[in-house]
Each structure stands twice: as structure tokens, then as C-alpha cells.
Structure 1
């Protein structure tokens, strides 16, 4: 499995994903990952240049910056003056509520995926804000931006009723890092019931066609227990039985394609973006399998 994935990465991946793969699976140092990521930094201390492949062009965006923070978190480098500068950027692009929009209007004029429309005065968005706030709290980052952004996330998460998988992912990312652990546990327990009641996770991959696909998602864009609980310590892990998680991981392992990479299931709108996403998805699949104790031989 890992050897095939490695060949796929060398054949298709951007320099950043090559460096990430080498760090996570070949024992390479973190510094080359940081150097590759630095190429995506922008003058306003955000990140751009299509770091998140569905948003093209040089301008910084909250989603690019969230992607950069995840990369830094994964190599243990999410702190110091660099993150202080990122928080200043987040403050500058936030909505009046103090949270992040999905897409900042500066994206207008550059290519972007049709399912992430650019509008003037965009509202606060849990999908953009939750993962960033949770990650910064988990790394014990303290910055004034976090106060109102955290309040927004609590209000948004605790108000969730009818939801969809990506929104739940964002909520879990927030709850996994939220400082108030008892409040987070209560919110996670409620979301777990919601996920099961609304059938937002395919609990038996052999019967996945019997599960609904959320409105606006691509045909067959199902989500599985491992998508919600990418590590065993996630609060979402308790939502699923051991058998359900093992079936989910079996399905994930079985999705490796002949060329060694994993597929992209969401809507594809341009040939280049699909090529750039697959190495990212492949690295995350391998990291998820390993985190849950699966061998990669």
C-alpha cells in the first residue's frame, strides 16, 4: 500500500505534498515542509496561490490559511510569531461577528470552484471558522481574534439542527480543540445522535447506495465514520461502534486505486484541480489508516 502510494506521490504531487509525504512516511525533517509551504504565503500574512486547489489565483483566502495551519499542525510547527501573524490576518478578513467567511470577496476575478460562490459582504461560516479555532486552541495559541471567533463557533455548533457532513466535520474540528471540555462533550454527544438520526454517515459500506447524499454534493459523495473521526482521540469516535469503524477503515483501505492514489469524491470542475487534490487526499487517507492502527504494508 505505502510503496504504491509513494510512487503515486512522486509521479503526481506538488512539491508541498512530496515534502509532506516524506515527513509523515519516510522519516524526513519538518523544515522542507515549512520551506515548501512558505511559497504560498502572501504579503498580508495569509496564504494563497491555490494552496487549497479549488481556489485559484494569488490572493489570500481563509480556506488557504486554514489549509496552511493544518499542514503546520501536522508537523508540530503551529506556534510562535508566524501564527501570531496569521491571527492578525484572520482578524483583518473576519466578518463583523468576528468569524471567518467561506470566501473573501478578493477572490473575484480569479478562477474558483462553482460550488463556492463569491459574494460581497459574505456571512460568517462555520466550515471556515470551526477548524481554525479548534486547531489554534489545541495548539494553545492565545490571540484576541479567538475570543469572538470561539463565541461564534459555540453558538453555531449548538444551534445545528438539520446539517450535512462537511458542516459536522467543521463542528468536530472545533470541539476537538475547544477549551471547555465538558461543554464540548455535551455538544459532541448531541451531534453524534444527529449524525445517526439523519444518516449522515454510511455505517455499512456494503449498503452505501441506501444512504442519502446531501443536497449539492456530487453523486456518491458519501461520508463514513473515518471521515468524522480521523484519529481515535476525536470526540466523534464515540459515535460509532468498533465494528462500524473497522468496516469504515476497510472501505478506506480498499479505495486505493491502481495507480497508488486515492480518489476525490466531491465535484470536480477543472482537470488541474483534480490532479492537485488526489495527492492531498492520498496523504490524508494514509494518515487516517495509520492513526487507527492499520498497517500500511
Structure 2
């Protein structure tokens, strides 16, 4: 049984419908419209996304981070012309802080089932996670919306103040700098922050715990390369060895309720396959 067959079997046993449909669309020639149909079920009337699209946020209500999950799915389908996008941007505009960014999590998370790290202040400020990735993806796909200019300014301002960062901040910064149109400014900030970004990376592919590896920062070749071909090859070799016989494929953080092992596992299984294909390890 080859890798795609093993992954398909794994998804049949563990994956959510949306992740099974993503696999089918991306690797079996299946319907992309069916993925969009499934994604619409996670979007609320306010334009935001909830309903555990981000598996660690179990509540039905909208939060900023599930919008990022939705945007990455729309990106892989080349579907940023979907009406879901302007509706989501309208939501982001409504929930943005005065600084122009969207908060990491909104106070409405309180009283809903969620992982313990989703804690909100009463009036949370904007955060690079997920503002930077959201803005970068909108720029990449040529979307114009009133939310984007202030969010972009927020990202530039916050990035300019960085000296060190968490792995999640670093991944968001890399996404923004890779996709934003102002290439001279992006390359200058990347050069300034490159060492700080690399300090958040786990270079040992077998490191345990909640580690962030080179493919997490570079899931496809980018115009701001962080890693040598040798480093990437080492880590891609490890991804190629995935057996798809563990319910929690790729999940190296706290599984606080059993269902998230399956839901994240299916999501990350598709993500691993996409990364391997982007680097020529799987058929196009």
C-alpha cells in the first residue's frame, strides 16, 4: 500500500468529513465544490467561522483563528473568489481592536468548550496570530477590503518592534513577509529577524514535545527561504516515513479531549501530504 493509500485509509478511520473531502479533491481528482460546501457549514451568519473548524475551539460561535483555518483551505482550492471571503472580512473588520489587528481570541470564548490556552482579556488587543497570516493570504490572492489596509499597517508596526518571538508568532511573520506585496520592506524585515525566527525552530526532526520543525515554517518553497536544501530534505524524509497508523498524526501538543486527536490528525495528515507534494516528494 503506497503512502496516499495509507493516508486515505487513515482519513477514513479518523478524519472529519471536510478533511476527507480535501484529500479527495487534492489527491484523487475529487470535487472541490464539495469541500466548499462542507466549509460553508462552519461559517456563521456574522461571517466568522466556528463549530470546531479549529479543533481546540469547540464552541459554535465565531473566533478569529478559525477564519485563518478557513482561508488556508480556500487557498489550497484556489477559491478566494468564494462569497465566504468578503463575509469573513466583514467579520474581521467588526471584531478588530483599535490597533487594527484582530485579537488572538475574543472574550466570547468564555463558557465554551476550548483548550486551556484559549484565554481572553476583557478588551484584547490585536495579535500577529492570526492577523499576519490573514492579511498575507488576502494580499496573495489580490483581495481588496476595508479591513486589509489597517491590518497590514498593524502587522508592519508590530513586526518592526519584534526582537524575539514565539514559534507561532514566527510562523505568522514568515507567512506575512512571504506574501505581502512590498517586497523591499519584507526582505529587509526578514533579514533583520531571520536569526530570531530560526531560534524558534526545532532542527532535530525527532525532538519531542511541542516542537515546530522546518516544514511548519516552509510548507512549500518560498521566496524568503529559511532553510538549506539539506535541512529540508532531512525533515521531508521524516514526513515521508509517516505510517498513518496513529490517531494523532502530527499532534505534538496537549490532547485535552479525545476528539481533537482525530480532528487535528486528519487535518495535519492532509497538510503533510501537501507539503511533500510541494517539494516534489509526491506526484503532482
Shorter-chain TM-score category? over 0.9
Question: CA-to-partner distance for each residue in 1:148-170, whole Å, 9 max, x for gaps?
Answer: 10011111122221212111100
| Unpaired runs of at least 5, structure 2 | none
Q: CA deviation at 1:55?
A: 0.5
1:242 aligns to 2:236 (yes or no): no
1:288 aligns with 2:272: no
1:183-241 per-residue CA deviation (whole Å, 9 max, x = no partner) reads 11111222322233x3x2233436x4xxxxxxxxxx62222211111111252xx2211
Structure 2 SS opposite 1:239:
coil
Q: 1:263 to 1:240 in 2, by over 3 A?
A: closer
Q: Judge which range, 261-270 or 120-129, deviates more.
A: 261-270
Q: Does 1:222 align with 2:201?
A: no
Tell me, which stretches of 5 or more residues in structure 1 are unaligned?
Answer: 209-218
Q: Distance in 2 between matches of 1:85 and 1:263?
A: 31
4+ long deviations beyond 4 Å: none
Aligned-pair Cα RMSD in Å: 1.8
Q: How does 1:112-261 map to 2 (within 5 A)?
A: 112-196=114-198, 198=199, 200-205=200-205, 208=207, 220-235=209-224, 238-259=225-246
Q: 1:60 aligns with which of 56, 59, 62?
A: 62
Residue in structure 2 matched with residue 22 of structure 1 by the alignment? 24
| Alpha carbons 2:248, 2:261 under 8 Å: kept | no
Aligned counterpart, 1:275: 262
Q: Do the aligned residues in 2 keep the contact of 1:131 with 1:171 (CA within 8 Å)? A: yes
- TM-superposition CA deviations, 1:10-55 (whole Å, max 9, x none): 1111111111010111011210001011111111111111110100
User: 1:165/1:234 Cα in 2 relative to 1: closer, same or farther (>3 Å)?
Assistant: farther
| Contact 1:51–1:64 (8 Å) recurs in 2 | yes
Number of aligned positions between the proteins: 282
| Contact 1:261 1:282 (8 Å CA) reproduced | no
- In structure 2, relative to structure 1, the CA distance for the partners of 1:92 and 1:260 (3 Å cut) is closer
Residue 248 of structure 1 deviates from its aligned partner by: 1.4
TM-score by length of 1: 0.90
